[in-house]
Amino acid sequence: MQEVQEVRTVTHPADIEEDGSYRSNTVMAYIYTMEVNKKVAGEYQKVGEVQVPIFGLEEFGLEVEATGKDEDGLPTYATDSLNFVFGALFAACKADARNKLQPGTATLKVGQKIASSVAELIEKAERNGAALAIVREFNKAFSAYLASSSGKSTAVQAVLAGMTKNRPTIALSSEVRRNALLAQLAGFADTLNEEDAAKYQNTVLAISEACTGAVELDDSDF
């Protein structure tokens, strides 16, 4: 059983009123002691512990209240559906903490901190979601460009579009195909307005680097 402490995380001293009460912008969290392990000789060994704030569903604006606590001291809710949502949230809080640790240690990476508020927890998810949305937009726009302006057959268009959607395949592609993709990327980039050029810049750069940095493999390498 883990020891869980229910606390209020105060983001600023001004959040405490003169009478000792908390203002509404403070955060209710459960501080969960998470064990950190690493695999040694096929077995997991404990290397330390970290304190992870776990946020209740009410911190996400849901009008619900915990109806009890589980064996670890974390909140339980009135329905299986709510408990399922809290379980996913619990996993997300722990994953956020793990991803910020140096590999095989309980030490934070330089410049990283474990999320102490809901805003901090979802900030990375929002950034990742926005980045994925841009990639999806790029794939759609690039496929449309290939169809209208590449002058290539449908089969070749599918191969080139597939290379951008599944970048690891670029390393397995021939130099001819990588150069063909680079040429189409250049043509696509020339059609973009300033806004779209800025939006797709990182995606185009990443694909271009994959093309120029790829290493051809020969059957004799296997």
Structural domain boundaries of the chain? 4-116, 127-221
Alpha-carbon gap, residue 204 to 156, rounded angstroms: 19
- First-to-final CA distance of the chain: 49
Alpha-carbon gap, residue 131 to 46, rounded angstroms: 35
Q: Which amino acid type is present at position 44?
A: Y
CB–CB of 50/10 below 8 Å?
A: no
Alpha-carbon gap, residue 208 to 200, rounded angstroms: 12
What's phi and psi for 33, nearest 5 deg? -85, 110
Confidence (pLDDT) at 214? 45
Q: Which residues are 39's β-sheet partners?
A: 44
How far from the centroid of its chain's Cα atoms is residue 60's Cα?
19
Which portions of the chain are predicted below pLDDT 50? 1, 7-17, 19-25, 214
Alpha-carbon gap, residue 51 to 6, rounded angstroms: 12
CB–CB of 163/177 below 8 Å?
A: yes
CB–CB of 101/91 below 8 Å?
A: no
What are the pLDDT digits (tens) for 45-86?
Answer: 899 999 888 888 888 777 888 899 888 888 899 998 888 888
Confidence (pLDDT) at 130? 72
Confidence (pLDDT) at 99? 81
* Helix residue ranges per DSSP H, 35-117: 80-99
